[in-house]
Structure 1
Amino acid sequence: MTGDSHATGTSGTTGSTSGSTSGAGSTVASTPAPATPPDPTLTSASRRRPGGRAVGLVLWVLGGVVLAGLWSRTALTDPDTSEWSTFAMPAATVDVDGSPVRVTAVHPVPPLPEITGVWHQEMADLARRAHDEPLPQVLLGDFNATYDHASFRAVLGDRFHDATRTAGRGLNLSWPVGERVPTFLDLDHVVVDAGMRVDDLDSLVVPGSDHRALAVTVQVAP
């Protein structure tokens, strides 16, 4: 790769996860489930990670009462906003130095007792869609799952890797934040395709969110 860039995203009270693909100045980031839509006049200078590059708003998807979005410095193409899950999980393709990369904002329902079956089904559908996609991929968001869940490991399969583990960072405890109990679950993940390299990973506090954000820089090609 000829360049290295960083991206980060923010969200509201439901969750916050972001990732970036790096190439010659091209980045993509995602933040699932913000509490309110971001300012449509967002400029490249309005949100920055120290030492990194700016992220702008490209796609905003409304799914029921939960919002999900993909953010990118470069154009997103072939968007998929099909309603296959309870919460919106939009996907799109970003060009990284001539290499197309498919990015999906992930947010299945939580595995509460009354909807555990729905959660299992949405995780299974996510795994199937991810493994059926031939393009290199980055999946990122509030998975409402930890590595201890078989359903999350099924998403990884023998193709994908959890960026936190790839970076040798162990657990990324991301939820809950600002509650009476300490942060004790790693629900938020950036999942990368085989062959991608994780160069940088930060866990960030997002004002107003009950999740920590995860900012990741990924080299998508050697």
Structure 2
Amino acid sequence: MAGIDLTSFDPPPDSAARHWPRPASLFRWTRSSYLLLSLFFATLLVIGIVWWPLAQANMGAIDWSRPLWAQIDWLLIGIFAVMTLLVMAGANIKTDALIVAVGFAGGLVIESWGTQTHIWTYFTLERPPLWIIPAWPIASLSIDRLYRLFNRLALPTAHRRLFTVLYWLIFPIFYALMLTFVWPTRAQSLTLSALFLCAFLILTPTDHRAA
């Protein structure tokens, strides 16, 4: 066997990496991604501690005589799993901080409007329930990631007229549905303010494609 280099039969050390990309590369994770993930789980922990009676009430509703898997809200778990991956994709703490701030502020305003006017309620009857507010910045970050993805996959800017037509088809329909939804509270100042603000934003678009 002298003169034969057995190491020549070993595969290149990085061959597996070429065929199986690491999750960080596949999902475009950055250093900020891990920070956002940590903050996300820390928020869930704080909510679980502060509103522990709610967690106990939910656990008390479990029927232990039935299979546990049949009582789990798998859709909700799936949504949160997808949102977690979206939030971590291409995270940038500098730009994401503004999105988070807007999400918190917007969520607080919208939840206050909806619960104060009884358009919707929560089983805790809080107006608004503070434990639901953190879901808004998470959703805002997820929407931002989806926008970036669709922005790369969408038609080129040359089809600007198409986006304009779609804009004026979709948003008037959205406004009509919203008007139907809030109609019972149409006389209340918070609802009138929300309707006016939405109408103003719809009628003054800055970028039909981005909208």
TM-score tier (shorter): under 0.3
TM-score normalised per structure 1: 0.21
User: Whose strand proportion is higher, 1 or 2?
Assistant: 1
User: Whose helix proportion is higher, 1 or 2?
Assistant: 2
TM-score normalised per structure 2: 0.22
